[in-house]
Amino acid sequence: KAIMPFGNTHNNFKLNYKVEEEFPDLSKHNNHMAKVLTKDIYAKLRDKQTPSGYTLDDVIQTGVDNPGHPFIMTVGCVAGDEESYEIFKELLDPIISDRHGGYKPTDKHKTDLNFENLKGGDDLDPNYVLSSRVRTGRSIKGYTLPPHNSRGERRAIEKLAVEALTSLDGEFKGKYYPLKSMTDAEQEQLISDHFLFDKPVSPLLTCAGMARDWPDGRGIWADEEDHLRVISMQKGGNMREVFRRFCVGLQKIEEIFKKHNHGFMWNEHLGYILTCPSNLGTGLRGGVHVKLPKLSTHPKFEEILTRLRLQKRGTGGVDTASVGGVFDISNADRLGSSEVEQVQLVVDGVKLMVEMEKKLEKGEAIDGMIPAQ
Amino acid sequence: MASSFTRILSSKRNVGILSLVGGSVAAGFLLHREHVTAGEPLRRRYPASAEYPDLRKHNNCMASHLTPAIYAKLCDKATPNGYTLDQAIQTGVDNPGHPFIKTVGLVAGDEESYEVFAELLDPVIKERHNGYDPRVMKHPTDLNASKIQSGVFDERYVLSSRVRTGRSIRGLSLPPACTRAERREVERVVVDALSGLKGDLAGKYYSLTVMTEKEQQQLIDDHFLFDKPVSPLLTCAGMARDWPDARGIWHNNEKTFLIWINEEDHTRVISMEKGGNMKRVFERFCRGLKEVERLIQERGWEFMWNERLGYILTCPSNLGTGLRAGVHVKLPRLSKDPRFGKILDNLRLQKRGTGGVDTAAVGGTFDISNLDRLGQSEVQLVQTVIDDFLAGSKYGVCVLLRSSWYRL
């Protein structure tokens, strides 16, 4: 069996030390991994490795290095390959359950990328809804994931992805911009289109080894935190069209990868397999940039979002603040409901919140509109 | 070297080494260079040509010397502990460097890295250490402080004096590669030994994990506290893993002898005081080091050292003496002289800001220290620094200038 050269240090060597000697000090930690990992689980799993050589200590390193925040519960672990979710299930299943609303090891996840099942979504008021966007991630079966892959593997993924994407035509015809050889002009354009992604600086990602060898093997359309991040977006409120393009494009890409004998990583329990357990299932974040200056200052704003199964972010994405009352509103769920269901929640929820905003503008109360639990 | 053999044989680590190598005949006993053997070779999915890093935009010592041929030769080797070439060079791949500042671009994960990857490390060492060829040269170690001549500087200019080095504990992996248990063992061994120091060297240990707020503030005020590394040169090499587990600071009650545990090396040993008495600082440095060495040997441990490379530390730039002897000195006029850089070069000195490496000078006050680490002994290096600063003369600064004119 061949292994990835990175990250498999000491797996046998560590076993010369007792569990108590190696077990991490998690007394000041607040993340899902720290809550679940006991000495017993550590003892049971520490001598195991996936076929490519990924170990338990590799899985948890980011959670050990990043104790977390009293208010924000991070996951604290990553997968190095598809098999991580099997071999380390004793650790990962309870984490998945905590993170995804009680999702059980026996539950099945449904995938539905048939955009015609979406009701409405083409009539969100463009005076309030500035832009619509749907993103997800995909992993290519047969390769290890970004925390673990070597340069050779990452380049092979890039090569295959570029082959697949450049064979798209019609409305999906496009171009690949490798980060390594991008010109200044191309970079400017991608920045002003809000397409360019930066080298990760968040220690959550760097401690998991995802920034290694940057920018080798990276480009727009491929290889940041996951093998592929797929994004469909446009100005205005026609989420239906954004979702249609998303579904059609994804399915076209998947067909091409299957022809190369490398379909996407998926199973009926966890849905689409991605690097971070928080993105399992659909991996989908569908949302809008919407102006809600009055509603966002209403005391019940957070509660409304929770009941609608939505989350808010600033307009710069995760961990940013909102500017001028404009929020990024998207679905909170990933695992246990389908793509169509999750986008439906966004469409219905945003429509309702825009109605609420209009009511508040007129000085009227919105209590009657707040959804029941 | 017999004691290291006994140490390794008697330690439980021996079991690990044998089981790693499995059916292979050559077991990795680490004694002398000629007997060091690599651990079990890796079987990899991609050929070396697919894995070779893209170093075209890089400017560091690793990139200068890692040819595709050397990469192909070494990439499937591992040290007995399992450390690989890819891990050693990761920091250099991730940090392309700066056109003006040439960093080393690789680290050692353990003592054996310097042997197993010698084909890459030897030319890097030669470039970094001014032509020192590890294949044929021997490094002199001399910690006899009584040999130092003069060494007291003009305190109107020299604000403080300091000598630092590092020491690694033989048999335990270095910070880029160590497991949590190994790192904790380093802490235990060193702290235990330090508790045996007496007289002016007696002191106390402050663990980063259990330090009180008050202790932390005191250490910050004393300028003793070290932070979690943020420099990508260190983080990409894996040295900040599991922070702050098993990290801490020990210092003597007089605050003149200080030891950092598990930062960039197993230990960093620092002797310092205000003012210009470099001779006394170095005397305490040597005495303290020898005492610590005696105390760990009593307990069956020793420092990593060999006559080819001197003291073994994580970064190849710190091999040999690992010694940086320097002063904080006020040179507001000299530093503005356009020849300042050349003067320092000729005297084999380097300047840093008063915050240490990568900081700016404040108010014309500089940190001036020796450039060299390998190929000359501790006594030789410190004497050079002292001669360059010429003790006790009110024309100290002018002499510095004059002696450099002489050599220009």
Mean pLDDT along residues A52-64:
93
Q: Which residues contact A159 (CB under 8 A, 6 or more apart)?
A: none
- Contact criterion met (CB < 8 Å) for A17 and B181: yes
Lowest-confidence range among A153-167, A277-291, B62-76, B337-351?
B337-351
| B-chain residues near A11 (CB < 8 A) | 82
Task: Specify the DSSP class assigned to residue A58.
Answer: H
Three-state secondary structure call for residue B167:
strand
Backbone angles phi, psi at A114, to 5 degrees: -95, 95
* Shortest distance, CA B296 to any CA of chain A (angstroms): 21
Three-state secondary structure call for residue B350:
strand
Six-digit token string for B300: 């069956």
Which of A17, A21, A37, A179 has the highest number of chain B CBs within 10 A, making it the mutation to test binding with B? A17
d(CA A230, CA A220): 10
d(CA B250, CA B242): 20
Q: Does residue A357 lie within any of the structural domains?
A: yes
| Residue whose C-alpha is closest to residue A253's, from A167, A170, A339 | A167
Which of B17, B116, B179, B245 has the highest number of chain A CBs within 10 A, making it the mutation to test binding with A? B179
Asked whether the beta carbons of A134 and A284 are under 8 A apart, the reply is yes
What angle, rounded to 10 degrees, do the helices at A151-166 and A239-259 form? 110
Domain of A44 in residue numbering reads as 9-100
Lowest-confidence range among A35-44, A186-195, B151-160, B236-245?
A186-195
d(CA B76, CA B85): 8
Asked whether the beta carbons of A5 and B40 are under 8 A apart, the reply is no
Do A68 and A156 share a domain, yes or no? Answer: no
Q: Which residues contact B216 (CB under 8 A, 6 or more apart)?
A: B225
Q: Is the pLDDT of residue A308 over 60?
A: yes
Cβ under 8 Å to A: B residues 230-269: 235-236, 240-243, 245
Q: Which residues contact B390 (CB under 8 A, 6 or more apart)?
A: B150, B396, B399, B400, B403
DSSP secondary structure, B86-116, as one string: HHHHHHHHH----SS--B-----SSTTHHHH
Is B274 in the A-facing interface, judged by CB distances under 8 Å? no
Half-sphere exposure of B258 toward its Cβ, with a 13 Å CA cutoff?
20
Nearest to B13 among A4, A8, A16 (CB): A16
> What pLDDT is attached to residue A5?
67
d(CA A55, CA A60): 9
Q: Which residue has the tokens 């003793």?
A: B224
Q: Does residue A181 lie within any of the structural domains?
A: yes
- Contact criterion met (CB < 8 Å) for A10 and B19: no
Whether residue A277 is preceded by a cis peptide bond, meaning omega within 30 degrees of 0, is no
Six-digit token string for A358: 């209009």
Q: Does residue A135 lie within any of the structural domains?
A: yes
Cβ under 8 Å to B: A residues 133-192: 150-153, 155-156, 180
Mean pLDDT along residues A65-92:
93
Mean pLDDT along residues A73-92:
96
d(CA A321, CA A100): 25
Do A87 and A127 share a domain, yes or no? Answer: no
* Shortest distance, CA A119 to any CA of chain B (angstroms): 47
Angle made by CA atoms A310, A315, A318, in degrees to the nearest 5: 65
pLDDT band at residue A313, thresholds of 50, 70 and 90?
confident
**Which residues are registered as beta bridge partners of A30?**
A68
Q: Is B358 exposed, middle or buried (0-12, 13-18, 19+ CB in 10 A)?
A: exposed
Asked whether the beta carbons of B41 and B75 are under 8 A apart, the reply is no
Asked whether the beta carbons of A289 and A152 are under 8 A apart, the reply is no
The amino acid present at B185, given as its one-letter code, is: E
d(CA A319, CA A310): 16
Cβ–Cβ pairs < 8 A, chains A and B? 114
Q: Does residue A182 lie within any of the structural domains?
A: yes
CA B112 from chain centre, in angstroms, equals: 16
- Contact criterion met (CB < 8 Å) for B177 and A153: no
- Contact criterion met (CB < 8 Å) for A152 and B179: no
Q: How far is CA A9 from CA A67, A211, A268, in A?
A: 23, 19, 33
- Contact criterion met (CB < 8 Å) for B240 and A12: no
| B-chain residues near A3 (CB < 8 A) | 42-45
d(CA A360, CA A296): 11
- Contact criterion met (CB < 8 Å) for B94 and A61: no
Six-digit token string for A284: 């989908």
Do A135 and A252 share a domain, yes or no? Answer: yes
Nearest to A213 among B16, B53, B185 (CB): B53
Angle made by CA atoms B61, B67, B70, in degrees to the nearest 5: 105
Q: Is the pLDDT of residue B342 over 60?
A: yes
Last residue of a domain, one of A40, A75, A100: A100
Q: Which residues contact A351 (CB under 8 A, 6 or more apart)?
A: A120, A123, A124
Do A128 and A64 share a domain, yes or no? Answer: no
> What pLDDT is attached to residue B289?
96
d(CA B198, CA A203): 42
Asked whether the beta carbons of B106 and B318 are under 8 A apart, the reply is no
- Mean pLDDT score of chain A, rounded to an integer? 89
Mean pLDDT along residues B71-96:
93
Do A337 and A279 share a domain, yes or no? Answer: yes
Cβ under 8 Å to A: B residues 103-132: 109
d(CA A144, CA A82): 7
A206 versus A352: the higher-pLDDT residue is A352
> What pLDDT is attached to residue A211?
86
The amino acid present at B99, given as its one-letter code, is: P
pLDDT band at residue A39, thresholds of 50, 70 and 90?
very high
> What pLDDT is attached to residue B390?
55
Three-state secondary structure call for residue A288:
strand
* B270-296 residue pLDDT tens: 999 999 999 999 999 999 999 999 999
Start-to-end CA distance of chain B, whole Å, equals 45
Do A161 and A258 share a domain, yes or no? Answer: yes
Do A170 and A24 share a domain, yes or no? Answer: no
Overall number of domains in chain A: 2
Is A50 in the B-facing interface, judged by CB distances under 8 Å? no
Is A6 in the B-facing interface, judged by CB distances under 8 Å? yes
Nearest to B184 among A2, A6, A21 (CB): A21
Could you give the percent of chain B with pLDDT greater than 90? 63
Q: Does residue A226 lie within any of the structural domains?
A: yes
Q: How far is CA A303 from CA A357, B173, B191, B276, in A?
A: 15, 52, 53, 66
Q: Which residue has the tokens 């020491």?
A: B167
Do A287 and A329 share a domain, yes or no? Answer: yes
* B111-152 residue pLDDT tens: 999 999 999 999 999 999 999 999 999 999 999 999 999 888
* Shortest distance, CA B368 to any CA of chain A (angstroms): 33
Lowest-confidence range among A353-362, B24-33, B81-90, B179-188?
B24-33
Q: Is B176 exposed, middle or buried (0-12, 13-18, 19+ CB in 10 A)?
A: buried
Do A30 and A89 share a domain, yes or no? Answer: yes
> What pLDDT is attached to residue A10?
54
What angle, rounded to 10 degrees, do the helices at A239-259 and A339-361 form? 160
Pairing of strands A285-291, A326-331: antiparallel
Q: Does residue A13 lie within any of the structural domains?
A: yes
d(CA A317, CA A310): 15
> What pLDDT is attached to residue A196?
76
DSSP secondary structure, B258-292, as one string: EEEESSSSSEEEEEEEESSBHHHHHHHHHHHHHHH
For residue B85, the chain A residue with the least C-alpha distance is A5
Last residue of a domain, one of A100, A129, A164: A100
Three-state secondary structure call for residue A135:
strand
Q: In what order do the strands lie in the sheet with B248-252?
A: B203-207, B248-252, B257-261, B267-274, B158-167, B324-330, B365-370, B349-352
| A-chain residues near B53 (CB < 8 A) | 151, 213, 216
Q: Does residue A107 lie within any of the structural domains?
A: no
For residue B80, the chain A residue with the least C-alpha distance is A13
Mean pLDDT along residues A7-29:
83
What angle, rounded to 10 degrees, do the helices at B13-21 and B2-10 form? 80
* B297-341 residue pLDDT tens: 999 999 999 999 999 999 999 999 999 999 998 888 888 888 888
* Shortest distance, CA B13 to any CA of chain A (angstroms): 6
> What pLDDT is attached to residue B37?
54
Asked whether the beta carbons of A21 and A84 are under 8 A apart, the reply is no
- Contact criterion met (CB < 8 Å) for B182 and A17: yes
What's the helix, strand, coil split of chain B in %, to 5? Answer: 40, 15, 45
> What pLDDT is attached to residue A138?
92
d(CA B371, CA A91): 50
Output the furthest CA–CA distance in chain A (Å, rounded).
71
Give the CATH number for residue A317: 3.30.590.10
Do A64 and A131 share a domain, yes or no? Answer: no
* B1-57 residue pLDDT tens: 333 333 333 333 333 333 333 333 233 233 233 345 566 666 678 899 999 999 999
Q: Does residue A254 lie within any of the structural domains?
A: yes
- Contact criterion met (CB < 8 Å) for A152 and B50: yes
- Mean pLDDT score of chain B, rounded to an integer? 84
Pairing of strands B248-252, B257-261: antiparallel
d(CA A292, CA A352): 12
pLDDT band at residue A170, thresholds of 50, 70 and 90?
confident
Is B21 in the A-facing interface, judged by CB distances under 8 Å? no
- Contact criterion met (CB < 8 Å) for B181 and A21: yes
Q: Which residue has the tokens 């979702």?
A: A243
Q: 0.80 cut: is pTM over it?
A: yes
- Contact criterion met (CB < 8 Å) for B82 and A16: no
> What pLDDT is attached to residue A282?
96
Q: Which residue has the tokens 């991996």?
A: A283
Which of B79, B86, B209 has the highest number of chain A CBs within 10 A, making it the mutation to test binding with A? B86
Do A172 and A306 share a domain, yes or no? Answer: yes
The amino acid present at B381, given as its one-letter code, is: L
Give the CATH number for residue A84: 1.10.135.10
Last residue of a domain, one of A100, A130, A164: A100
Backbone angles phi, psi at B363, to 5 degrees: 65, 30
Do A125 and A223 share a domain, yes or no? Answer: yes
> What pLDDT is attached to residue B358?
64
Q: Is A141 exposed, middle or buried (0-12, 13-18, 19+ CB in 10 A)?
A: middle
d(CA B57, CA A150): 20
Report CA dihedral (B238, B243, B246, B248) to the nearest 10 degrees: 110
| A-chain residues near B188 (CB < 8 A) | none
Nearest to A2 among B45, B109, B177 (CB): B45
